[in-house]
Amino acid sequence: MEFSINNERDVLVMKLINYFITQKNYSPIIIHGVDNEIWLENPKEEYRIIRIVTRNIFNNEQYNYDVLRTKHILSQIKRRMLSLSVSTLSILTNVGENLDELNDNEKNYHTLVIENEDDVFNNELFDKYYSDIKNSMTFKEDGMELISKITNGISEKNIRESEKRNSMFKKETPIVTYILVFINILLFIITGLMSHNLSSIDSNTLYRFGGLTSNTTEYYRLITSAFLHVGFYHIFCNMYALLVVGPQVEQFFGRKKYILIYLLSAIMGSLFVVVFTKSNIVSVGASGAIFGLFGAIVYFGYNYRGYIGNLLLNQMIPAIAINLFISFLSPFISAPAHIGGLVGGYIVSLALGADLDEDRSQKISGMIVFIILTAFMIYMGFLR
């Protein structure tokens, strides 16, 4: 982000950028082919995108073209974000006298003309959503000393974000993942020996060790069934998937939250089996928990694109879709377990949050949704 400081308007722009980045935790978005405007994003604010335009807009024709071009860019951003709407505030800092009243009647797209600090301080929208902006834009320094302070503030914010990013991607041994793999393999060997057939363990042995059926009345089977497997192919596929996605979730969320995501996703997957499966076949496998880890990755990838970009999310969505499609095609794969695990993993991740500063109200909402969904599924599966 480079600026030439030539007049009071440039200082105003610098102050606005400093406020949104350092005080409101907006992050710059790189928009290729766009000059003389700055795009900032924070999904937790009323306006997800703030756009600060520094070029001169002389008249209505230029303004209408600017709106049309901006909406085209926003449509691309919405596809990338997998979002139906993106609330956007365009701040024009340099308009001509021939520009009439702005056409600003759309729900998720608003425009403001801000040419000086009085326009900021006396604006109803800023007063409603960014009431602390007046104090944040008031500085004792002026001239180059002011520019230096603002630049240093933005740089310090970038350094802190970089340190967060580096700590998140610091390579650590995925101990919890290895322990989960060990437990699954150990139980597979034990049940195989008890069944006298490691290639295809009989349903009676699986049921005695905690396998799940749709008419079960024993709650412990909701979790024990997630650590049992039918045969070599079954456990190989699940453990391979766990070794691929598990370390990522363990790294992004931390070990304690990772354990909760895994276990609660397994339980939610089992509840979906109880409610939506009519046959009385013994159901086992870690796939519900693993799909919960997929849900956690989707949550993280969507909410923290600034840390990992869109690549991981773009790869994960097709992988999940393909696996769900296969689940519905095969009579031997439990689609309800996969769907329940995926839903449970996403909601639990919402409730727990990653190891970053997150909105408390968002976590509370996630907890409430998970509790209500769990209670409803228990009622439908066990109490009705």
Q: Which long-range contacts (CB under 8 A, 24 or more apart) does 114-117 make?
A: 114/12, 114/16, 115/9, 115/12, 116/8, 116/9, 116/12, 117/12, 117/15
**Chain-centroid distance, C-alpha 62:** 36
Kindly state the helix (H) or strand (E) to which residue 354 belongs, with its residue range.
Answer: none
- Rounded CA-CA distance 88/39 in Å is 10
131 with 27: CB under 8 angstroms?
no
Reported as type and span, the H/E element at residue 69 is helix 60-81
CA distance 341 to 263: 10
Inter-residue contact 25 to 42 (CB < 8 Å)? yes
Written as six digits, the tokens of 17 are 């950028």
Cα 343 to Cα 377: distance, rounded to the nearest angstrom: 13
Tokens of 13: 């722009």
d(CA 233, CA 173) in angstroms, rounded, equals: 26
Q: Which positions are annotated as active-site residues?
A: 287, 338
DSSP letters spanning 95-137: EEEE--S-----SSEEEEE--SHHHHHT-HHHHHH-TTHHHHT
